[in-house]
Amino acid sequence: MIRPGLLLRLVVFTALIAFLAMPDRFAGLLAPLTDNGAPAIYNQGSLVSLTLSHLFTVALATSAATIVAVGLAIFVTRPAGAEFLALSRAAVNIGQTFPPVAVLALSVPAMGFGEGPTRLALFLYGLLPIFENSLVGLSTLPPAVVESASAMGMTGRQRLLKVELPLAMPLIIEGIRLSAVIGLATATIGSTVAAKGLGEVIVAGLQSNNLAFVVQGGVITGILAVLISDGFQILARRTSKRRGASPQASRPATDGQQAPV
Amino acid sequence: MTTLADAATDGAATPRIDRLGVVIAILMAVALALPFVTFRATRIAAGNGLRLFDALPPTAAAAVGAVLIAALVTAVANRRPSLRLALGALALVALALGAGAAGTHLTPADSPYARIAPGSGFWVGLFAGAILMTDAMVRLKLGPVGRLIALAVTVALVAGLLASGAWSHLSLIAEYRSRADVFWREAINHVILAGGSLAAAVVIGLPLGVVAYQLRAIRDPLINVLNIIQTIPSMALFGILIAPLGWVAANVPGAHAIGIRGIGTAPAFLALFLYSLLPMVANTVVGLNGVSRAVVDAARGMGLTVFQRLLQVEMPLALPVVLTGIRIVLVQNIGLATVAALIGGGGFGVFLFQGLGQTATDLILLGALPPVALAFAAAVVLDAAIEISGRGKA
């Protein structure tokens, strides 16, 4: 039995792959959006390679942000890093009021044009949700669990790896999901600073007044964002199920909410 | 073994030296070593970095340097939060005045095209001072009123500096001066886009949230759809909305007359409104769900009708959570309205993307800094409102 939601996603995913593989077959569908015989399918580069470099930029920045943010969250929740805890909470709150597009634009004077500023902005902004969620996950563990782990004779390191991180994992994955979705959107805007990605298609459409370009770029990025977000959500659900009944479900986290970018 | 290990780590938790202070001090030292301002012969020429003592007359440079060093020493050696707050604030003021003075000092009388901008040392120093202040405020556990006062003082100081002309020789201000009219027009556009879509979302989203709270059947599908919308990148949603709105403008009588167009403000406003619905609806539902059953039963026992109960009991109790939704919406819309410039929607993004197009750093800053400041101020004000509205409620 396949649930209707899953079926719909499979259909959408197949349609996306089909479009990326043979975009010209779909030209008839988009042609009504063009004027004066303008091309209906983006013709200044391959859609597949733009999609791949878009995804690569996001994957690279999000992985780096994950490593750094989880590392920092572990550090400030150990006794050795405790004095940084309050400040890092405040810093994350303040940081998240910065619009990602401003972070992107401000990276340009520092890094020049191209992939550099986009990756830097994605990385910097991507740190915030992952750090926040890891912090909530690691600092709100039921004390009884942590104490019994110590009572069993686990060292601090064992406790972290075998108890604390696995328990916090669903929240950490939720943070990575937020970061990836924000990253995907910011990378789209990155095309205005000459980063290779799907935003290029939208920008080209806006500049040449070709709605077909705008719509295909928009729809591809939109679908990618929704599918990636769903993937992480399924992963988060799996990990929290594997841990058995979850006290996490009732824990105040980010409520699964996110800001669009 | 464990107890020994724990004892060792516990010992490490209270070191004599404030390690955060050491980090701040290192940042301050780096700030002093880096160029304080950059000098450019023209607006888009390559910059030439000048250190503090090259950028200012000796006495002024010594004064700024002395304040920064005092902040550096305080960060390491003194743990009193009030002193750290004062020194952090003083460092920021010294940097701001110093940068302005450098602008006046360095601008050649015969070359109106020369541009002086704060350099990397200035920005690193600003960052260090801001951390010192933030940390002190966290330790002082400043209440909502205190935070509002701090915000008001900051706004007044910045406004005073701008009005006094102390920064008038800095390139950012020069950039502003040459387009002051457009700047304020786009500022109003930006506020209308962000605030108007918030107002629309409150008017539609609150009742929708109440309905979703009472009818379980539509709650999950509605939240799911809003969640999917929320996931779509702004540039994509702006773009996707151009086509249907263009069609409406061309085919629905009267639509064009009230300002609906394929590109411009209409798709931007609609997109921001759609993005705003999820936080509004979801937080209304969560807030109402959180009202204790006993309170609702007591209200029912007192003979209040469903409507009276909602307005007099449930909504007031749900207010802090609803306000949290409004905070999320306002901060996110101020940021997203910046992107609207890409589809002709106006706002500060106009300068940001123009600046990117011309590789003019000052123009980028002119477009990027106001939304950052607005979003930050909105967050401080609403956080305070949330805290005050939540007082005395279970």
Three-state DSSP state, B347: coil
Over A87-113, what HEC string results? HHHHHHHHHCCCCHHHHHHHHHHHHCC
Environment class of residue B275 by beta-carbon count within 10 Å: exposed (0-12), middle (13-18) or buried (19+)? buried
Check CB contact under 8 Å for A211 and B242.
Answer: yes
Contact: A259, B335; criterion CB under 8 Å = yes
The answer, for B61 touching chain A at a CB cutoff of 8 Å, is no
Contact B265, B347 (CB under 8 A): no
A108–B230 CB contact, under 8 Å: no
Query: Is the pLDDT at A257 greater than 70, yes or no?
Result: no
d(CA A46, CA B213): 47
| B6: pLDDT strictly greater than 60 | no
State the average pLDDT for chain A.
85
Q: In chain B, where do the E strands start and end?
A: 37-40, 48-50, 115-118
Q: Which of A78, A105, A184 sits opposite B356 (nearest CB)?
A: A105
Query: Which residue does chain B place closest to A102, by CA atoms?
Result: B368
Element spanning A34, H or E: none
The verdict on a CB contact (< 8 Å) between B134 and A211 is no
Burial status of residue B354 (CB atoms within 10 A of its CB: 0-12, 13-18, 19 or more): middle
Max CA distance (Å), chain B:
82
Residues of chain A positioned with their CB less than 8 A from the CB of B235: 185, 188-189, 199, 202, 218, 221
In chain A, which among 27-56 make CB contacts under 8 A with chain B?
33
Contacts B369 to A, Cβ<8 Å? 102
> Chain B residue closest to A88 (CA)?
B135
Structural class in CATH, domain A47-250: mainly alpha
- Write down the pLDDT at residue A252: 38
Residue B205 has what pLDDT?
94
**Which residues 120-179 on chain B approach chain A with CB closer than 8 angstroms?**
131, 134-135, 137-139
Q: Chain B contact for A109, CB < 8 A?
A: yes
């951390």: which residue's tokens?
B131
* Residue A32, helix vs strand vs coil: helix
Per-residue pLDDT of B138-171, as tens digits, reads: 888 888 998 999 999 999 999 999 998 888 888 8
pLDDT value for B128: 93
Burial of A63-81, coded b for 16+ CB within 10 Å and e otherwise, reads: eebbebbbebbbebbeeeb
Contacting residues for A214 by C-beta, under 8 A, at least 6 apart: A201, A202, A205, A206, B239, B240, B242, B243
The rounded percent of chain B whose pLDDT value lies above 90 is: 48
pLDDT of residue A36: 72
Put simply, the answer to whether B375 touches A113 (Cβ < 8 Å) is no
> Is A100 in the B-facing interface, judged by CB distances under 8 Å?
yes
Tokens of B38: 């950059």
Which segment of A53-57, B45-49, B361-365, B374-378 scores lowest on mean pLDDT?
A: B45-49
- Helix, strand, or coil here: B16? coil
- When pLDDT is cut at 50, 70 and 90, the band that residue B393 belongs to is low
pLDDT digits (tens, 9 = 90+) for B258-274: 766 677 888 899 999 99
Inspect the interface and report whether the beta carbons of A150 and B6 lie closer than 8 Å: yes
Does A148 reach chain B within 8 Å, measured CB to CB?
A: no
Residue B383 in tokens: 């956080």
Question: Is residue B379 a contact partner of residue B331, using CB atoms and an 8 Å limit?
Answer: yes
Largest CA distance in chain A: 76
Taking CA–CA distances from B360, the nearest residue in chain A reads A109
Tell me, yes or no, if A113 comes closer than 8 A to chain B by beta carbon. yes
pLDDT digits (tens, 9 = 90+) for A108-133: 877 878 888 888 889 988 999 999 99
Residues of A in contact with B263 (CB under 8 A): 206
Cβ-count burial A122-146 (b if 16+ within 10 Å, e if not): bbbbbbbbbbbbbbbbbebbeeeee
Structural domains of chain B, with CATH: 12-177 (no CATH), 180-389 (1.10.3720.10)
Closest among A177, A170, A175, A169 to A226, alpha carbons compared: A177
Domain locations in chain A as residue ranges: 47-250
- Which residue from A minimizes the CA distance to B228? A226
Buried b (16+ CB within 10 A) or exposed e, B177-187: eebeeebeebb
Residue % of chain A over a pLDDT of 90: 30
Paired tokens of B192: 């209308």
**Confidence check: pLDDT of B201 > 60:** yes
What is the average per-residue pLDDT within B351-359? Answer: 89
For residues B312-318, give the mean pLDDT: 90
What is the identity of the amino acid at A5?
Answer: G
Chain A residues touching residue B238 (CB < 8 angstroms) = 218
Length reported for chain A? 261
Please report the ipTM that was assigned to this predicted complex: 0.83
Three-state DSSP state, B166 = coil
Task: Calculate mean pLDDT across residues A226-237.
Answer: 91
Do B232 and A222 count as a contact with CB atoms less than 8 A apart? yes
Highest mean pLDDT among A233-247, B5-19, B62-76: B62-76
Please judge whether B352 and A185 are an interchain contact, meaning their C-beta atoms are less than 8 angstroms apart.
Answer: no
Given a cut of 90, whether residue A74 has pLDDT beyond it is yes
CB B319 within 8 A of CB B287: yes
What share of chain A in percent tops pLDDT 70?
A: 92
- What band does A25 get if pLDDT is binned at 50, 70 and 90? confident
- Residue B25 CA: distances (Å) to CA of A4, B77, B89, B119, B124: 58, 10, 15, 19, 11
Q: Do A101 and B338 touch (CB under 8 A)?
A: yes
Q: Which residues of A touch B371 (CB under 8 A)?
A: 99, 102
Please compute the mean of the pLDDT values over residues B63-78 and round it to a whole number: 92
User: Would the CB atoms of B233 and A255 count as touching at under 8 Å?
Assistant: no
Residues 212-231 of A with CB under 8 A from B: 214-215, 217-219, 221-222, 225-226, 229
Lowest mean pLDDT among A188-202, A207-221, B36-50: B36-50
